[in-house]
Structures are given as C-alpha cells and as structure tokens.
C-alpha cells in the first residue's frame, strides 16, 4: 500500500464510471449501445476490477479507455456512497448483457471466450432465445492477432468477450480500433453463465447482493483469492482512498 500510484488509478476509473440512475436511464443506454456509430467498448467495474487496477497499471489504462464503464456489484455501491455519490442501478453484466443480446436480434454476433462445450452451448442458447446470428465462435485462449483477424473477416455487429480480467479489457482496447461500427463487451463469466457452466444464485440471494457468496461456495478454490482475500482488501483500499482525499482533488 506504500505506493500511492494506485490512488490515482482509482481516481481515473471513478471519474470514467457512468452511473445509471433508473430504469428509464437504463433503457436509453440500451438503445444507444444497440446502435453504435463506431467501435464502442462496454466494460464493467466491480471490486475485483478495482483491486486489479490498483496493482496493474496497464490493465487500469485498458479498462479506463472503454467508452462506457458501468457499476457492477455491491462493493462499488459502498465505495460510491462513501464518496458521497449515488450508486444508481447495479448494472452487472450477467443481467444487462442478455438485454443487449435481445437488442441485437438478427444481427451478426461473435462469442470469444470460455472453452468447449460451454462456448457452443452459449452460442446455441443465444441463437434460440435471442435470435442473434452467430458468425464467429472461438475459445478464449488464443493470441490477440487471432481475434483481430476474425473481427476483420467476419465484421460482427456485437462481440462478447468472456475471457476474464485482465485479458478481455486489453483485447477490447485493441478491437476498439476496428473501422466499422461494433459493440465490444467485456463480459467476464457471461459465456459460462449462458453456456450452463455456471448457475445463477437464487433471486432472494441476488436481492441481498450476495451472489458472490453463492459463486464462492460453488467454486471455492478458484474464487478464494478473489472474494475471501479480495473483498476485505477492497474495503481497506476504500478507506485508504477516502482518507487520502483523492476524490476531493
């Protein structure tokens, strides 16, 4: 914590973050994102993203370069309230990305991320439920040039990246240079959810902002560092950030 550079990185992300005030605001955003006039990157900021940004300057730069950054999760709501800001709606990707898929019905879509068979299952599910036209599917472990070549060849209107942080944000920053209009979504585990690898928490648990606990119980080994260590670390950084007065500079 001695290195104070992370404070400035947090300040950058918080200045970029867009809060969605209500359902009407969410619908306006949905309409805008479903009709991009150029390559547009949509990212999500949660406690894990803030922890990564604190220690990885390149990741922070890639995340901050997104055209739209949305609040994801209760941790960010705590931070924003402590800064005197209204957190708005919880715009987590697991709920918002399916709405975007529905808005792209009939248009060319690419899914890049996760692994088989979940990738194919996600594509099949979204073609059947949302009516999108899948033009490209690729697992999430290739080099960036592979995805850039696919984008140029297939020209999807929507690209959903399900590679996890920080790879997807770094790739999205490069895909943003595409010359044709396209929405690029940093979707995290969304393809795992859509493909049936990961299940959602019950509604009552989601209402308590405790879906992270459900996921931890399902995948304790993989998510231990992210939640058991990461959540208290995020709270500590929140207190240090407020004490440093960065938000008032």
The residues spanned by each domain of the chain are 25-248
The per-residue pLDDT for 249 is 40
d(CA 67, CA 176): 9
Spans of the chain, pLDDT less than 70: 1-2, 246-249
Fold of 25-248: Rossmann fold (3.40.50)
pLDDT for residue 1: 55
List, edge to edge, every strand of the sheet that includes 39-45: 68-71, 39-45, 182-186, 158-162, 108-113, 133-138
Burial, 154: exposed, middle or buried (Cβ in 10 Å; 0-12, 13-18, 19+)? middle
Q: HSE of 57 in the Cβ direction (CA atoms, 13 Å)?
A: 6
- Please indicate, yes or no, whether the overall pTM of this predicted structure exceeds 0.85: yes
């Amino acid at each position: 914590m001695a290195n104070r550079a992370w404070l400035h990185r947090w300040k950058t992300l918080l200045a970029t973050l867009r809060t969605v005030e209500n359902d009407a605001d969410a619908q306006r955003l949905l309409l805008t994102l479903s009709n991009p006039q150029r390559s547009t990157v949509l990212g999500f900021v949660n406690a894990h993203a803030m922890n990564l940004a604190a220690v990885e300057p390149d990741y922070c730069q890639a995340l901050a370069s997104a055209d739209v950054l949305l609040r994801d999760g209760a941790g960010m709501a705590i931070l924003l309230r402590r800064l005197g800001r209204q957190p708005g709606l919880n715009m987590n990707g697991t709920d918002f990305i399916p709405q975007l898929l529905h808005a792209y019905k009939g248009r060319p879509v690419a899914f890049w991320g996760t692994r088989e068979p979940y990738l194919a299952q996600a594509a099949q599910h979204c073609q059947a439920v949302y009516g999108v036209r899948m033009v490209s599917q690729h697992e999430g472990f290739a080099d960036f040039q592979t995805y850039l070549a696919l984008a140029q060849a297939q020209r999807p209107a929507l690209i959903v990246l399900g590679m996890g942080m920080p790879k997807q944000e770094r790739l999205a920053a490069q895909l943003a240079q595409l010359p044709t209009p396209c929405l690029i979504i940093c979707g995290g585990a969304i393809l795992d959810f859509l493909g049936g690898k990961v299940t959602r928490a019950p509604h009552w648990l989601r209402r308590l902002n405790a879906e992270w606990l459900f996921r931890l119980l399902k995948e304790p080994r993989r998510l231990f560092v992210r939640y058991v260590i990461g959540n208290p670390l995020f709270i500590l950084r929140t207190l240090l950030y407020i004490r440093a007065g960065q938000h008032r500079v």
